[in-house]
């Protein structure tokens, strides 16, 4: 059961709508494999807590001056690729393993294989499991 929860947590991410529910430094909201670590050179990361803090509320676009203050340019470019809701559509959880964001057993299996490979665990076993998946 614990392994299943770990797998689910690894595959879930936020799709940004209005940014009101997603915490910048704690939640997964950037496309894989990117993640955020609070910048060590800035002491007051509490000044921006929610993804909505990074959005210009009038223009409904990313606030580039804030982005460049808090993130390196490579991360700013990644964030600017994320679409923002022009209305007030809320944020929602999605499954990263599929293009449509909907969980499938096959995508969970593929993520499990990827996590095993990244941990350096049992590459020959991974290949055997891959072959058995095709039979199913």
Beta strands in the chain (DSSP E): 12-15, 55-56, 61-62, 92-95
Can you give the residue range of the structural domain that contains 92?
Answer: 12-102
Whether residue 44 is found in the same domain as residue 31: yes
pLDDT at 41 over 60: no
- 5 located within any domain: no
In the block, tokens 């665990």 appear at 121
What is the structure's pLDDT at 35? 65
- 2 located within any domain: no
Whether residue 41 is found in the same domain as residue 94: yes
pLDDT at 73 over 50: yes
As to burial, measured by CB atoms within 10 angstroms (0-12 exposed, 13-18 middle, 19+ buried), residue 23 is middle
Whether residue 92 is found in the same domain as residue 124: no
pLDDT band at 56 (very low <50, low <70, confident <90, very high): very high
Length of the chain, in residues: 136
More reliable by pLDDT, 125 or 31: 31
Between helix 105-118 and helix 123-135 the angle, nearest 10°, is 170
pLDDT at 37 over 70: no
What is the structure's pLDDT at 93? 94
Whether residue 69 is found in the same domain as residue 116: no
Whether residue 98 is found in the same domain as residue 108: no
Per cent of the chain over pLDDT 90 is: 41
Total structural domains within the chain: 2
Distance, CA of 49 to CA of 100 (rounded, Å): 28
How many angstroms separate the first and last alpha carbons of the chain? 23
- 40 located within any domain: yes
Whether residue 72 is found in the same domain as residue 131: no
């Amino acid at each position: 059961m614990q392994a299943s929860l770990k797998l689910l947590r690894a595959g879930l991410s936020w799709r940004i709508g209005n940014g009101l529910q997603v915490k910048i430094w704690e939640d997964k909201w950037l496309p894989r494999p990117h993640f955020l670590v609070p910048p060590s050179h800035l002491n007051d990361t509490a000044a921006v807590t929610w993804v909505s803090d990074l959005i210009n509320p009038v223009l409904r676009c990313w606030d580039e001056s804030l982005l460049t203050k808090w993130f390196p340019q490579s991360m700013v470019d990644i964030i600017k690729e994320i679409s923002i809701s022009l209305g007030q559509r809320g944020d929602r959880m999605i499954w990263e393993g599929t293009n449509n964001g909907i969980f499938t057993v096959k995508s969970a299996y593929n993520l499990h294989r990827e996590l095993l490979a990244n941990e350096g665990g049992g590459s020959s076993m991974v290949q055997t499991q891959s072959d058995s998946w095709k039979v199913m």
